[in-house]
Structure 1
Amino acid sequence: MVETRDFDILSPGFHANPFLTLDRMRAEGPVVPMRLPIVGRTWLAVTHDACATLLKDHESFARDPANAGSRTQARILRVLPRSLSLLALNMLGHDDPEHRRLRGLFDQAFQRRTVEAMKPMITQIADRLLDKMEGRPEVDLMTEFCRDLPLSVICAMLGLPEQEHDRFKSWLGGLKDTANIGAVLRAIPGVIRAVRHLRRVSRQGGGALPDGLIVALRDAETDGQKLSEDELVSMIFLLFGAGQETTTHLISGGLFALLSHEDQRRRLQSDPSLMPTCVEECLRYVSPVQMTKPRFATRDMVWQGRQFRRGEMFAGFLAAANSDPAKFEDPHRFDITRHPNPHLSFGTGVHFCLGFQLARAEAAIGFERILSRFPAMRLAIEAQKIEWRKRLGIRALAQLRVQLVT
């Protein structure tokens, strides 16, 4: 058995400055063996080429471990409370043809609304949050803007009444340190409450607004098939997590990058047409989602110059792929004019992020509205003293305190 490597990829120090560690990982080769907290022994694809190949090759690498000969996940799911085990029923945990069926039902529901049509709503929410900051000398953008904006957007998109938004924030607030088994266990009661409430609200007469995605998903049908209630709840929870947390860290990390690179912030403010390439560079440079969900080798094979056995676990380390000098010129540099920018922050292949356009729109609107309202805003403390959370696979600021200088 190949000896695992001991790279720090979850401490606050790593998240504050990940690039040197990522360079050392790539120097080991395209795939690096690691022993990850909770997850266990995993091969991380750390070059852009290896990561993209891993995510696109669904014949050699399965998302469902059962398709690689493992029954471990099935055994674990059998002993978990139903409110937790059903969360594995969303499309992310499946391979085709089940993945195709679930994604088809989602696409049918999602196509009823376009991101372009949602932009006025996103702008209205952003302005409402910024109104609350007016006249205050200093705020924590993480709690008062970066987290609330995507939370309110996803709740509105799902069709959840506005008075329930704070409840979900409270229930899911414990999922901040997924590298700590104790913190994960303490967060379980809140997750269970959220899942049970979503089950109630997703039923006929449960309170979901008629023009929201919950009702659209409940009514979606292809080839005579509809989502079961468990699949519906699992899908809603996936959208809640994917649509809220990851966008939170894109907006907060992107604002931090702009505020700590004054030349880039000034360039964006003087030329708003740079916003699309700015958002793409934030996706690459920040890499808020640092690692993909695991894949499992479906057969014994030689891949990337190594021999692997069926059932071995892999993950794409997106942060390393996004800073690969073989793909990006001067990858340590934050450059809002970078083009082309073939980052993998939304993944690739059949599991490409379904909310990519929404995330881009929320980030662009969030950046534009806050920089317009508070054009002289600056960090309240030195960039080097900003605190990051201890997280596995997510790059998350603990706070983002700014002075709203006007």
Structure 2
Amino acid sequence: MHLAPPHPWTATADGARHRAYAALAARGPVQQVPLPGGASGWLVTSDDAARAALMHPGLSKGGPERAPFADELPPGIAAAINHHMLAMDPPDHTRLRKLVAAAFTRRRTEALAPGVQQLADDLLDRLAEQDEADLITAFAYPLPIAVICRLLGVPDTDHHLFREWTGPLVVGGNMAGVEAYAAAATALVAYVRELLAEKRRRPADDLLSALVAVRDGGDRLTEDELTSMVYLLLLAGHETTVNLIGNAVLALLTHPGRLALLRAEPERLPAAVEELLRFDGPLQSAIPTITTEPVEIAGTRIPAGANVVVALLAANRDPDRHARPDELDLSRTEVLGHLAFGHGVHHCLGAPLARLEGRIALGSLIARFPRLRLAVPAAEITRTPGFMMNGLAELPVRLR
């Protein structure tokens, strides 16, 4: 078992992560590799194999005890963040997902569009006062954090806190180091507990107040499930969309012909978002699973008790599924078949909201700044290291 550098999780140079996954995929759709933190696992890279793995009854999330540093965090902290639906299998997963599913339906999400548009316009007004900016800091990050905080009922004055905390928590695969991870988790849990106490004192018309009512009224949520649900919604509700926006803008700026087409024909935007998700999605992989029995995927037998990681980035560039997979093609007809939001029972609950935010963010940005371009050569733009997330460290742009 050998994985030649650069590993995709530490590949940060321009294009290096996709090249690393392509090299792995060339070795076969399922292979044993060393994972961050020293464990070994089975990496799934093809579209067919990924779909099979994400639906296989013999693969389990494994529960809260499989979360990073589960045995090393301060007392009570691991339980307060890890009892969420992405760590659970049915029926617990089904019960937890059902409690928040109504807030993320397509109809409910589309009703948020005017508010999302106003938030985007406000951020672009501030950007218009500058000649250059880091688009991640000035736009891609503050938009989705404002949207999810408004939905949940988090005060506007607290948005700035989350970027410091979420960095170590979303790196994944024990890559952040236990001290940084524990400090961020402890701070976030303390904040969430105080916020929930405030919702109990003064309920409002927001999702957190509704979840508190479920917990206190029907006992369908334990206290750890409640805090874990808030933790998950805060992190997953913004971090992936930050990457969606950042990666999409970079892809368009490095493909000026595609950008010109989108400007000329803005009605292409919904389909363009799907292709941009396929081309350079916000996640490298799905949350790892563990085999509960011997499992066969794409002709490879995986023993019981093995880690399985589905490489979404690799599957979305599978040449057997997508013609010319390394090409950004806004005219693809099959692009809705991408796996950027996962597949099966764990398919991203917030996908409609992410699509809405991506559509509004990209459409508003390219309309407002017709001369938008990179402020540095594309080769100087780097990715953040991480096991699951696929995002940019920064995106320097010139606005005029």
Structure 2 length-normalised TM: 0.92
In structure 1, the partner of 2:262 is 268
Q: Is the 8 A contact 1:61 1:298 kept in 2?
A: yes
Moved more, 145-154 or 82-91: 82-91
Aligned to 2:43, the other structure's residue is in SS state strand
For 1:98-137, list aligned pairs within 5 A.
98-108=92-102, 110=104, 114-137=108-131
Aligned to 2:308, the other structure's residue is in SS state strand
Query: Deviation string for 1:243-283 (max 9, x for gaps)?
Result: 11111011000001011110000000000110011100111
Q: Is the 8 A contact 1:290 1:393 kept in 2?
A: yes
Query: Deviation string for 1:208-256 (max 9, x for gaps)?
Result: 76121111222248x9552122211100110111111111011000001
Partner Cα separation in structure 2 for residue 297 and residue 170 of structure 1: 34
Partner Cα separation in structure 2 for residue 281 and residue 90 of structure 1: 30
Shift in alpha-carbon separation, 1:372–1:301, aligned structure 2, 3 A: closer
In structure 2, the partner of 1:56 is 55
For residue 73 of structure 2, the aligned residue among 62, 68, 80 is 80
Q: Is the 8 A contact 2:149 2:156 kept in 1?
A: yes
In structure 2, the partner of 1:24 is 23
Q: Is the 8 A contact 2:9 2:17 kept in 1?
A: no
In structure 2, the partner of 1:397 is 392
Aligned to 1:396, the other structure's residue is in SS state coil
Residue 361 of structure 2 corresponds to residue 346 of structure 1: no
Structure 1 length-normalised TM: 0.90
Partner Cα separation in structure 2 for residue 207 and residue 184 of structure 1: 34
The AA in structure 2 aligned to 1:37 is P
How far apart are residue 181 of structure 1 and its match? Answer: 4.2
Aligned to 1:114, the other structure's residue is in SS state helix
In structure 2, the partner of 1:69 is none
Partner Cα separation in structure 2 for residue 226 and residue 204 of structure 1: 20
Where in structure 1 are there 5+ consecutive unaligned residues? 67-71
Shift in alpha-carbon separation, 1:204–1:152, aligned structure 2, 3 A: closer
How many pairs are equivalent?
A: 397
Where in structure 2 are there 5+ consecutive unaligned residues? none
Aligned to 1:344, the other structure's residue is in SS state coil
In structure 1, the partner of 2:373 is 378
For 1:169-180, list aligned pairs within 5 A.
169-175=163-169, 177-178=171-172
In structure 2, the partner of 1:33 is 32
* Percent identity of paired positions between Structure 1 and Structure 2: 34
Residue 34 of structure 2 corresponds to residue 6 of structure 1: no
Shift in alpha-carbon separation, 1:208–1:372, aligned structure 2, 3 A: farther
Q: Is the 8 A contact 2:288 2:308 kept in 1?
A: yes
How far apart are residue 109 of structure 1 and its match? Answer: 5.2
How far apart are residue 390 of structure 1 and its match? Answer: 1.9
Aligned to 1:375, the other structure's residue is in SS state coil
Moved more, 31-40 or 149-158: 31-40
Name the Cα RMSD after superposition: 2.6
For residue 255 of structure 1, the aligned residue among 249, 252, 275 is 249
Q: Is the 8 A contact 1:36 1:42 kept in 2?
A: yes
Residue 44 of structure 2 corresponds to residue 45 of structure 1: yes
Q: Is the 8 A contact 1:23 1:320 kept in 2?
A: yes
Shift in alpha-carbon separation, 1:51–1:362, aligned structure 2, 3 A: same
Partner Cα separation in structure 1 for residue 102 and residue 213 of structure 2: 10
For residue 364 of structure 1, the aligned residue among 359, 367, 382 is 359
The AA in structure 2 aligned to 1:386 is I
